[in-house]
Amino acid sequence: MDQHITERLRMNDLHTHIVSADEAASWIQDGMTIGLSGFTRAGDAKAVPTSLIERAKTETFKINVFTGASLGFDLDKLMAEAGIIHKRLPFQADSSMRKKINDGSLYFVDQHLSHTAELIRSKVLDPIDYAIIEAVAITEEGLIIPTTSVGNSSIFIEKAKNVIIELNLTQPAELEGLHDIYSPNEQGERGPIMLTSIEERIGEIGIRVDLAKIKGIVITQSLDSPSTIVPPDEETAQMAAHLINFLREEVKAGRLTNELAPLQSGIGSVANAVLHGLIHSEFENLEVYSEVLQDAVFDLFDHGKIRFASACSITLSEKKMNEVYANLEMYRDKLILRPQEISNHPELIRRFGLLSINTALEADIYGNINSTHVSGTKMMNGIGGSGDFARNARTAIFVTKSTAKNGIISSIVPFASHVDHTEHDVDILVTEQGYADLRGLAPRERALVIIHNCAHPMYKDQLLQYFEEASLRGGQTPHMLEKAFSWHTRLADQGTMLEKQLSPSL
Amino acid sequence: MDQHITERLRMNDLHTHIVSADEAASWIQDGMTIGLSGFTRAGDAKAVPTSLIERAKTETFKINVFTGASLGFDLDKLMAEAGIIHKRLPFQADSSMRKKINDGSLYFVDQHLSHTAELIRSKVLDPIDYAIIEAVAITEEGLIIPTTSVGNSSIFIEKAKNVIIELNLTQPAELEGLHDIYSPNEQGERGPIMLTSIEERIGEIGIRVDLAKIKGIVITQSLDSPSTIVPPDEETAQMAAHLINFLREEVKAGRLTNELAPLQSGIGSVANAVLHGLIHSEFENLEVYSEVLQDAVFDLFDHGKIRFASACSITLSEKKMNEVYANLEMYRDKLILRPQEISNHPELIRRFGLLSINTALEADIYGNINSTHVSGTKMMNGIGGSGDFARNARTAIFVTKSTAKNGIISSIVPFASHVDHTEHDVDILVTEQGYADLRGLAPRERALVIIHNCAHPMYKDQLLQYFEEASLRGGQTPHMLEKAFSWHTRLADQGTMLEKQLSPSL
């Protein structure tokens, strides 16, 4: 046995379980439900799904695919294109899969990322036939050590009928010891989750498994696909500046100190860029309690800004991944990776009092947020953990550029074409124009602050006109339903949300 | 000193603080913020607000009024009509106040009922100048014993600059000992809430107060205004039957036993009637963990169905109030009243795994719920605790009759005209037509189940037609935005949501 393997596969009894990816993939049958490790490209099972996709070239089958969140390695793309998915949950972020979701070829169940484990525990979702989980090691006692994400891997292993481990020899061995695997019992039979600070440990360093369920171990050697984060630009720098101004006002008002409160930041370039802006602020000794740690968190570490970070995945660009992996020892005692039902648990988010920063696709004048649906119908990625955080945070912050596609789309609209977060859950809205502090305001007050502080100048009058005309009809939340979506229909018909843009008289 | 008073006001030092309601009311100045006890008509401060309303006949002033939830004693009505309210939060249920909210004369901040205390703690809301709290007693050590609700009384007393107690001699003395007052610390400085079963106690029987803040004690002698619950009718009986069928299926599937899981039921006649239906079911030894206990809970107690009930208020009809008060000793060891931040706390709702039952005004075909806004604009009552419960429950159940106003309104519409609960938080929809189990379904699947199981027959084809036509355009959540609100505009223009209802060719 290869020494590299024996160092990673330390439970000797399991050496006989090593199989090829093709063989493991051959066990997955039409109609089955599989649970894959992987959260925002990090720590995904890579080899068996790839073999499964290969199998689809000569065989027709459909399966349900559950994950932590989005997968890397083009797996969502290739599975969608191979047509092997019947149902996918709880999150994805791939353009081909998006296309298949929106043309109706596969069902996508868009879930709060903390909910999936509960639905599995309570036997609401289809039973999982195979959990396919990437590991960096299996210990002497048979603990499965995850790699760069925990996601739903622990609940998949706990509840699946069968388990396949992808033992990844290339993921850094130093990941071992980083995880804290804690499994709450079923709802109604559980106690408090005894975390009182973000760096505490309440679980084990790996996932405990009924060894009889391990059907195969596949040896793999690929790193995660790097993230393709867009670097900060002028507008995201402005958004970061507005966010910092807001935080300064909070400190002045005695609501926060310069250590702020644990930060959460959603996936994606905008949230990453905004967080990145804290590097050159006066805030320090920061804590991060989030679902995903992107480049910005490690940049903040490198600038001595962060005291500790807890999450359920690490998703980095290629450059940052090389840097971080080369110095993993440096970060190890400042990092914990937890299951997503813990990283995203309402109990903990509320207790810690997070400052949560998530991205909006569009916001309406009352501060209802659309995070997912382009023009109310086409799925972009999914709600992810944004609802887990926004509902329970100390301060729920949403960020979006005020316009999209060179201004033909206003991100601030009269009526959100899809609502993922209601006005009750949206405290602060930030665009490159400014920020709106909506806390304690009634809808009619919210509208004015949002329009004045956040809307792009070219859309302000148009928004004010809608609001004022609607207000004449009265209501807690004034609207003219016959015109509520006129901005979206104008975009579809005339190619812009701007009024009279195409009128010959202009 | 009247013996009746000395029995209730047992801290002798405070006897000098007794003042008239008029005098106490005279301390409230223009621009102040007051925090009133009171949750769904129960345990409201009655005398001082009444004097304040009287003062408005000869004096112009505006105040902010915070409460637990809705008030009885016509206080919301009279305060609204007197024009003394600048801002009101977090819930109301009065027709006159509703009118003032909707005509723009006062600001209403519609909040999750668990959020208000957090916003006070974190100094986001205006500081409270006077907490005016109804009590049934003040103990020897100065503990304030609330009456029929706790609501936000404990946080108001903790954070207000001044406190006025309305010592109510008519509320039954046996209420003492019923409450469990526990105050979590600020977010970021608190530990787990150590409740692991609904009957545990973690606090004190009354509210601790800095005695120097007590500015006056007003003696009062009025019971709460009784609730005006509408008795179960044929449709609510059908809804109850469907709910029971759903619960039976859960038991069959091994997800619940006949003891079910702790039940939560929202305020109002429909939720009360549906809960009432459990009397003649096989379910027993039930637990209730809710915000308000209405008649149905005590009917279930009387039929030996309930083991224990925890809430933050008791709101009864006149008849039931007389029965319950005459036998309070019988219920005392089966009841706890807690602050609303505990009754509605996400941490506990999630831990206990509640079955939550709340009322919808309208639902759309994808299961987004409007709980608050008539035709998307006019406030009815407020979101109340429905979001606290639905988001975190084991199973979030929403109930509504399939039509309103003799059928001119379908409660199932293409697009909810206001969204309080997104599809992610809506598991089961119940109408008198049947129930839709939406768990684990994608939006396109949800639509078919809702239309087939829940819509009224006279609207089914119309809904299907919208869905099918929209589906041709694709999308995760198919819509035709230009027609999404056509049902609501048809209602406004033609007096019905039914198509071709007024067409001469029919």
DSSP state string for A430-476: EETTEEEE-TT--HHHHHHHHHHHHS-HHHHHHHHHHHHHHHTT--S
H/E element, A47: helix A47-55
Summarize pLDDT for A203-241 with one digit per residue, the tens. 999 999 999 999 999 999 999 999 987 888 999 999 999
Cβ contacts from A onto B, under 8 A? 236
**Pairing between β-strand B373-374 and β-strand B378-379 as defined by DSSP bridges:** antiparallel
pLDDT of residue A1: 62
Summarize pLDDT for B304-341 with one digit per residue, the tens. 999 999 999 999 999 999 999 999 999 999 999 999 99
Chain A residues within 8 A of B363 when measuring between CB atoms: none
Summarize pLDDT for A45-100 with one digit per residue, the tens. 999 999 999 999 999 999 999 999 999 999 999 999 999 999 999 999 999 999 99
| Residue B250 is among the residues annotated as catalytic for this protein | no
Per the listing, tokens 């409270």 go with B128
Inter-chain contact B126–A190, Cβ cutoff 8 Å? no
Chain B residues within 8 A of A94 when measuring between CB atoms: none
| pTM for the structure as a whole | 0.97
Beta-bridge partner residues of A214? A163
Inter-chain contact B477–A352, Cβ cutoff 8 Å? no
The domains found in chain A, sorted by start residue, are: 3-220 (3.40.1080.10), 234-494 (3.40.1080.20)
Summarize pLDDT for A179-211 with one digit per residue, the tens. 999 999 999 999 999 999 999 999 999 999 999
CA distance B337 to chain A (A): 20
CA distance B335 to chain A (A): 19
Inter-chain contact B481–A125, Cβ cutoff 8 Å? no
Chain A residues within 8 A of B383 when measuring between CB atoms: 422, 424
Q: Which of B351, B364, B365 has the highest number of chain A CBs within 10 A, making it the mutation to test binding with A?
A: B351
Inter-chain contact B481–A489, Cβ cutoff 8 Å? yes
Of residues B272 and B8, the one with the higher pLDDT is B8
Q: Whats the size of chain A, residue-wise?
A: 506
Whether B501 shows a pLDDT value over 70: the answer reads: no
Summarize pLDDT for B166-193 with one digit per residue, the tens. 999 999 999 999 999 999 999 999 999 9
Inter-chain contact A186–B353, Cβ cutoff 8 Å? yes
ipTM: 0.97
Asked if residue B498 lies in contact with residue B462, where contact means CB atoms within 8 angstroms, the answer is: yes
Inter-chain contact B422–A420, Cβ cutoff 8 Å? yes
What's the CA angle centered on A314, arms A41 and A380, to 5 degrees? 40
CA distance A138 to chain B (A): 31
The annotation status of B475 as a binding-site residue, yes or no, is no
CA distance B68 to chain A (A): 15
CA distance A395 to chain B (A): 10
Distance CA A487, CA A415 (A): 9
DSSP state of A236: H
Summarize pLDDT for A275-323 with one digit per residue, the tens. 999 999 999 999 999 999 999 999 999 999 999 999 999 999 999 999 9
Inter-chain contact B475–A111, Cβ cutoff 8 Å? no
Asked if residue A310 lies in contact with residue A343, where contact means CB atoms within 8 angstroms, the answer is: yes
pLDDT of residue A270: 84
Distance CA A307, CA A286 (A): 5
**For residue A272, what pLDDT band results from cuts at 50, 70 and 90?**
confident
Chain A residues within 8 A of B409 when measuring between CB atoms: none
Chain A residues within 8 A of B187 when measuring between CB atoms: 261, 350-353, 394
SS3 A131: strand
Q: What is the DSSP string of B438-484?
A: -TT--HHHHHHHHHHHHS-HHHHHHHHHHHHHHHHT--SS---TTTT
Radius of gyration of the CA atoms of chain B, in A: 23
The annotation status of B269 as a binding-site residue, yes or no, is yes
Work out the average pLDDT over B379-396. 98
Mean pLDDT of chain A: 96
Q: Burial, B39: exposed, middle or buried (Cβ in 10 Å; 0-12, 13-18, 19+)?
A: buried
Q: Over pLDDT 90: what percentage of chain B?
A: 94
Q: How far apart are the first and last CA of chain A?
A: 78
**For residue A384, what pLDDT band results from cuts at 50, 70 and 90?**
very high
Chain B residues within 8 A of A490 when measuring between CB atoms: none
Inter-chain contact A476–B419, Cβ cutoff 8 Å? no
pLDDT of residue A505: 43
CA distance B238 to chain A (A): 25
H/E element, B48: helix B47-55
Chain A residues within 8 A of B418 when measuring between CB atoms: 477
Which runs of E-coded beta strand occur in A229-285?
Answer: 263-265
**For residue B505, what pLDDT band results from cuts at 50, 70 and 90?**
very low
Beta-bridge partner residues of A167? A135, A219
Token output for B330: 């019988």
* Residue among B262, B476, B485 minimizing CB distance to A481: B485
Distance CA A440, CA A443 (A): 10
Token output for A366: 């009352």
- Residue in chain A closest to B392 (alpha carbons) equals A346
Whether A447 shows a pLDDT value over 50: the answer reads: yes
Q: Which of B98, B118, B187, B193 has the highest number of chain A CBs within 10 A, making it the mutation to test binding with A?
A: B187
Asked if residue A347 lies in contact with residue B346, where contact means CB atoms within 8 angstroms, the answer is: yes
- Residue in chain A closest to B369 (alpha carbons) equals A419
Whether B506 shows a pLDDT value over 80: the answer reads: no
Q: What is the 3-state secondary structure (H, E, C) of A362-388?
A: EEECCCCEECCEECCCEECCCCCCHHH
Distance CA A371, CA A353 (A): 22
Inter-chain contact A439–B124, Cβ cutoff 8 Å? yes
Work out the average pLDDT over A400-419. 98
SS3 A408: coil
Inter-chain contact A476–B379, Cβ cutoff 8 Å? yes
SS3 A81: helix
Summarize pLDDT for B251-261 with one digit per residue, the tens. 999 999 999 99
Q: Burial, A442: exposed, middle or buried (Cβ in 10 Å; 0-12, 13-18, 19+)?
A: buried
Active-site residue identified among A291, A341, A423, A432:
A291
**For residue A504, what pLDDT band results from cuts at 50, 70 and 90?**
very low
pLDDT of residue B231: 81
